[in-house]
Chains A and B, each alone.
Chain A
């Protein structure tokens, strides 16, 4: 990693922690979604089970979703989008730093700033709600390893979303569409196991599933060690695939840059 990447990541990190109120509320978002999810699934499950999830397992599933959600969407997404919308991207093009690489450094710097809050929030949630424990120590270790891929995956998806700003005038609607895609196809809205077969296949064919279902499946032992390693390999492949796809799309979209009508 070059010093310029570290410098950009550090700046993004400092910018993130400078707005303390905003930072705090980003954790509250996840906290609220977790509490609402717990209320809904407590009502739906009762003493029974749905899709192989009983109440203890569902609590673990939702807490993992809270952790990944808080980490994943703490990056500097709006800063990236605004660079394109405001035309700052024109200045970026004159700099001797690759745009995608620079934004990746900033995004991951922003995500790192959310790690303490995400870990603290998860620890509190575990202490208060007492979810099911990991299936085995190996499953716990593999879960943590799979969570590391959230960083490049979240950047890849956010970066593809912000590239839409080359053809739109606003990011808000794009962000909501992306957030709802992630919420649904990650299994956060409703577990993938409850979906009909064709929708399960569609979900597993997309990268979003690795935000909740993959780490939760490994943690709860719904997949064996070979299955867990396969899922982690799929995460790695998506991380690389998204970066390459974004680079190809960028090459086409950058031709559309018009700044102040020029």
Chain B
């Protein structure tokens, strides 16, 4: 299998891992940075935990969803965001690289630009997000009484969630090829949409929001659909949509990035 301009996929993958490990080596050099960022990632999750604990001290359920089931929703969403930051945080730099003309360097190197940009940084808040997110997911899993038989589905859900999240963030960060700006405003909008809506059962929102989250920007497949299936809120066949969402979102990310690179005209024009 070869990628664009005859770069073998194996070579691209090797470049990715070499760059990623180089980032790990640089992280170890800055321990203060590591701990500040890991704590920052933990804060979000601890507050999500607190939010749900306070909410369920006042209400018995939310649209038929219990405390532990909603912990799973928040936990899986957090792990997905953490995976994005851990393995593909560089995508968030697309806007600033476009403005500064930093994409120039990447174009001249013999590896796909998207791989170089994606692996150009590791968001260390991911450590806190993944650890505390996984803790919420496991605690919710046990509390909701879901047995070990469903663990393979859980593992698949985590992997797919990380890929869908990273791909959607990449596609939306690539909008900065056309709409110039330091901040990846569309990707932030996605995170906002998820932060506000996807930690809640989708049933409480109007049908328009449900349709968008399911089919237009398939954020529901990051956490809502897999958690709904293992907790029995949705039939099992919905799980087939998860790999489909992975494929769709990855193709979308690659497509938008390629179009963006065609529109890229370096800095100062």
Which A residues contact B (CB, under 8 angstroms)? Answer: 19, 21-22, 25-26, 28-29, 32-33, 36-37, 39-40, 43-44, 50-51, 78-79, 82, 164, 167-170, 172-174, 176-177, 180-181, 183-184, 189-190, 194-196, 199
Which B residues contact A (CB, under 8 angstroms)? Answer: 30, 32-33, 36-37, 39-41, 43-44, 47-48, 50-51, 54-55, 57-59, 62-63, 85, 89, 92, 121, 123-125, 179-183, 185-186, 188-189, 192-193, 196-197, 200, 204-206, 209
Contact A184 B47 (CB under 8 A): yes
A195 partner, pick from B54, B182, B204, beta carbons under 8 A: B54
Closest to A176 in B: B44
Contact A177 B43 (CB under 8 A): yes
Contact A181 B47 (CB under 8 A): yes
B43 cross-chain contacts in A, Cβ below 8 A: 177, 180-181
With A50-B59, A172-B92 known as contacts, the answer to whether A177 contacts B41 (CB < 8 A) is: yes
Tally of contacts, chain A with chain B, CB under 8 A: 110
With A25-B185, A39-B205, A194-B54 known as contacts, the answer to whether A173 contacts B179 (CB < 8 A) is: no
Closest to A33 in B: B196
B196 cross-chain contacts in A, Cβ below 8 A: 32-33, 36-37
6 more contacts with CB within 8 A, not counting A22-B181, A51-B58, are A26-B185, A82-B182, A177-B43, A189-B47, A194-B55, A199-B50
Report which residue of B62, B92, B125 has the largest number of chain A beta carbons within 10 angstroms of its beta carbon.
B125
Contact B33 A39 (CB under 8 A): no
Contact A164 B197 (CB under 8 A): no
Report Cα–Cα, A164/B125, bound state, in Å.
Answer: 13
A29 cross-chain contacts in B, Cβ below 8 A: 188-189, 192
A167 partner, pick from B36, B63, B180, B193, beta carbons under 8 A: B36
Contact A180 B47 (CB under 8 A): yes
With A43-B204, A176-B125, A177-B44 known as contacts, the answer to whether A169 contacts B50 (CB < 8 A) is: no
With A21-B181, A177-B43 known as contacts, the answer to whether A28 contacts B189 (CB < 8 A) is: yes
Report Cα–Cα, A199/B186, bound state, in Å.
Answer: 34
* Shortest distance between the CB of A175 and any CB in chain B (Å): 9
A184 partner, pick from B40, B50, B204, beta carbons under 8 A: B50
**Lowest 3 CB-CB distances: which A-B pairs, in order?**
A173-B125, A177-B40, A36-B196
Contact A21 B33 (CB under 8 A): no
24 contacts between A and B (CB under 8 A): A21-B185, A26-B185, A32-B193, A36-B200, A40-B204, A43-B62, A43-B63, A44-B59, A170-B37, A170-B124, A172-B123, A172-B125, A173-B85, A173-B123, A173-B125, A177-B40, A177-B41, A177-B125, A181-B43, A189-B47, A195-B54, A196-B54, A196-B57, A199-B50
B192 cross-chain contacts in A, Cβ below 8 A: 29, 32-33
A50 cross-chain contacts in B, Cβ below 8 A: 58-59
Report Cα–Cα, A71/B206, bound state, in Å.
Answer: 28
With A82-B182, A195-B54 known as contacts, the answer to whether A169 contacts B33 (CB < 8 A) is: yes
Closest to B81 in A: A176
A168 cross-chain contacts in B, Cβ below 8 A: 32-33, 36-37, 124
Contact B123 A25 (CB under 8 A): no
A196 cross-chain contacts in B, Cβ below 8 A: 54, 57
B200 partner, pick from A22, A40, A184, A194, beta carbons under 8 A: A40
With A39-B204, A78-B182, A173-B85 known as contacts, the answer to whether A180 contacts B44 (CB < 8 A) is: yes
Contact B47 A190 (CB under 8 A): no
Contact B123 A174 (CB under 8 A): no
Report Cα–Cα, A28/B185, bound state, in Å.
Answer: 10
Contact A22 B40 (CB under 8 A): no
Report Cα–Cα, A82/B182, bound state, in Å.
Answer: 10
Report Cα–Cα, A40/B51, bound state, in Å.
Answer: 13
Report which residue of B50, B63, B89, B92 has the largest number of chain A beta carbons within 10 angstroms of its beta carbon.
B50
B40 cross-chain contacts in A, Cβ below 8 A: 173-174, 176-177
